[in-house]
Amino acid sequence: MKKIVSILMVLAMVLSMAACSSEPAADDAYTVGICQLVQHEALDAATLGFKEALQEKLGDKVTFVEHNASGDAATCVTICNQLVAEGVDLMMGNATAALQAAAAASATIPVVGTSITDYATALEIEGWTGKTGSNITGTADLAPLDEQAAMIKELFPEAKKVGILYCSAEPNSVYQSDVISGYLTDMGFEVEVFTFADSNDVANVTTAACAAADVLYIPTDNTAASCTETIANVAIPAGKAIVAGEAGICGGCGVATLSIDYYDIGYAAGEMAYEILVNGANPGEMEIAYAADVQKLYNEANCTALGIEVPEGYAPLE
């Protein structure tokens, strides 16, 4: 009889342990790998938001393995392969090249992207539905391009030619350039595209753009965002205003922007990561999330330097 009771007690313990292990693993520890393409204000804010969202929910149960590729897409590949080899529980890809590297590195480890302009373009997905259908989800940084085009018209109604300036190696920038070019053309502007291959070409290409165009537009381009001082040193003395795709670029070399908050989209990406890690959400079935709000902002110093009067409805950059 004692033997039977002992067996029953062991079985009860095993069943109890199994029941505990089947619950959401909120008490488990997680290792999250982060690959950020380059260091600049917007991407830094997105990474911070991502980390703080997970830390608020998991505390010391989450450990981050964080790497910055210093603007090199090939380094993103190396980083993500290393994260896979280390067995991280989830990867975060901050910017398009980082997301692409994470996607190529693993088809099974969950990947959450942030600061991605267009997931269909980044991942070469046809018949886009709003979900990737794979191990990937995340948040986008695309502000309404039609409204950005309207901003150029509002601020510079006498301008005839808009120069679009970006890095040809960034598919996110190519996408934005193609889309906003259509809006600008419909508004009666002549549009010319000026591209640099990397940071070494920025000054020369900016000089050419300033000579050819009345006003410049820079999309959410990571290379440009890391070279705003170089661009400003050319554009401001040339008397050419720049409308930017996001606040970081505007703060460095622009006069105005219609921008999202990068911390907010990073934070939202962190919340998505939590749902995947703890509650077992399927990334492929999670809708790509977009910023809820955009804001018209202006760079007071650059507007003053160029003699630009900003109409009502614009807030100063902080």
Among 197, 240, 196, 246, smallest CA distance to 218 is for: 246
For position 247, what pLDDT does the model report?
Answer: 94
Domain boundaries, the chain: 30-141+261-285, 145-259+295-316
- Asked if residue 138 lies in contact with residue 90, where contact means CB atoms within 8 angstroms, the answer is no
The total of other beta-carbon atoms located within 10 Å of residue 293's CB is: 8
How many CA within 13 A on the CB side of residue 162?
A: 30
For position 27, what pLDDT does the model report?
Answer: 59
What fold characterizes domain 145-259+295-316? Rossmann fold (3.40.50)
For position 114, what pLDDT does the model report?
Answer: 98
- Asked if residue 132 lies in contact with residue 112, where contact means CB atoms within 8 angstroms, the answer is no
Cα separation, 278 vs 142, in Å, equals 28
For position 274, what pLDDT does the model report?
Answer: 98
For position 305, what pLDDT does the model report?
Answer: 97
Q: Give me the tens of pLDDT residue by residue for the chain, a chain 318 residues long.
A: 433 334 333 334 333 433 343 334 445 899 999 999 999 999 999 999 999 999 999 999 999 999 999 999 999 999 999 999 999 999 999 999 999 999 999 999 999 999 999 999 999 999 999 999 999 999 999 999 999 999 999 999 999 999 999 999 999 999 999 999 999 999 999 999 999 999 999 999 999 999 999 999 999 999 999 999 999 999 999 999 999 999 999 999 999 999 999 999 999 999 999 999 999 999 999 999 999 889 999 999 999 999 999 999 999 998
Are domains 30-141+261-285 and 145-259+295-316 of this chain identical in fold? yes
- Asked if residue 230 lies in contact with residue 203, where contact means CB atoms within 8 angstroms, the answer is yes
Homologous superfamily (CATH) of 30-141+261-285 is Response regulator (3.40.50.2300)
For position 157, what pLDDT does the model report?
Answer: 96
For position 167, what pLDDT does the model report?
Answer: 97
For position 13, what pLDDT does the model report?
Answer: 38
